Amino acid sequence: MAPFLAYDGKGPHTTTPLPLVLIHGHPFDRTMWAPQVAAFSAERRVIVPDLRGYGASPVVPGITPLSVFAEDVAALLDELRVPEFVLGGLSMGGQIAMECYRLFPERIRGLLLADTFAAAETPEGKASRGAMAERLLREGMGGYAEEVLYRMVAPYAPPEVAAHVHRMMTGTSAEGAAAALRGRAERPDYRELLTRVGVPALVVVGEDDGFTPVSDARAMHEALPDAVLDVVPGAAHMPNLEQPAHFNKSMTNWLTRLPDDRSRSSPRP
């Protein structure tokens, strides 16, 4: 049976080093992880799905809770026969990664949380996400993309990075994005969960991130029992694209700490 989610999978199909699964944020797609796929797939299997409603995956209108996104990821990995893995996500993808840890912690051997936060939505935030969902359905993605582009990436980001991010945003289905916004508004509070995470974690944040500021990253780092914090200079909300060499080096150093991972090689430039 074909997997429900579109995905890219590159690298050797081995259990050592552990496969790396990376979950994109909103409103992006799997191509946001291109620098990490290129860097790490020489030594390990790297799997990057398009979430439902995004990229080349099916669009399901209505509401998509984070638990559904997490179940989709688990189903894909079942299809690919990947029982254990290192899991990472950025922004909404980081919250989905936390939901994955809530639902199936026994499968996750390391947790990367980039430019995300663990608290539940506030009443004001719920209303804002609901209003944005309605706006996207009414107007499409173009206006929103123009408004937030230089908050997603820093105003000083390389033009090709800004163009990539803009393409992802304008290429996203308004129906899929709206369903995710509604589901994300109802997410649980993951702060207590973080105190029970039993695997090494890496918390990364762009120094100039206005969506999920450094204070949010520090709070997650303090809650996690075994975590490394990296504040990336010269980056906003997408340090993996804005400063890929720094981001990849941070990941490489962290991956060598994982007890079930024997990869000690550096990523390609």
Residues 122-148: pLDDT tens digits? 999 999 999 999 999 999 999 999 999
Residue listed under structure tokens 């890929």? 244
SS3 state at 109: strand
263 band by pLDDT with thresholds 50, 70 and 90: very low
- Residue 156 has a CB neighbour count (10 Å cut-off) of 12
- Residue 43 identity (one-letter amino acid): E
**Tokens at 56, concatenated:** 């080349």
Q: Which long-range contacts (CB under 8 A, 24 or more apart) does 247-250 make?
A: 247/35, 247/36, 247/114, 247/204, 248/35, 248/36, 248/39, 248/40, 250/202, 250/204
Mean pLDDT of all residues belonging to the chain: 95
pLDDT tens-digit profile of 81-134? 999 999 999 999 999 999 999 999 999 999 999 999 999 999 999 999 999 999
pLDDT tens-digit profile of 208-239? 999 999 999 999 999 999 999 999 999 999 99
> For residue 41, with 0-12 CB atoms within 10 Å meaning exposed, 13-18 middle and 19 or more buried, which class applies?
buried
SS3 state at 218: helix
Q: How far, CA to CA in Å, does 28 sit from each of 56, 156, 195, 259?
A: 11, 20, 29, 32
Q: In degrees rounded to 5, what are phi and psi of residue 28?
A: -115, -160
User: DSSP class of residue 7?
Assistant: E
pTM (2 d.p.): 0.95
pLDDT tens-digit profile of 171-194? 999 999 999 999 999 999 999 999
SS3 state at 88: strand
2-11, 39-48, 219-228: the lowest-pLDDT one: 2-11
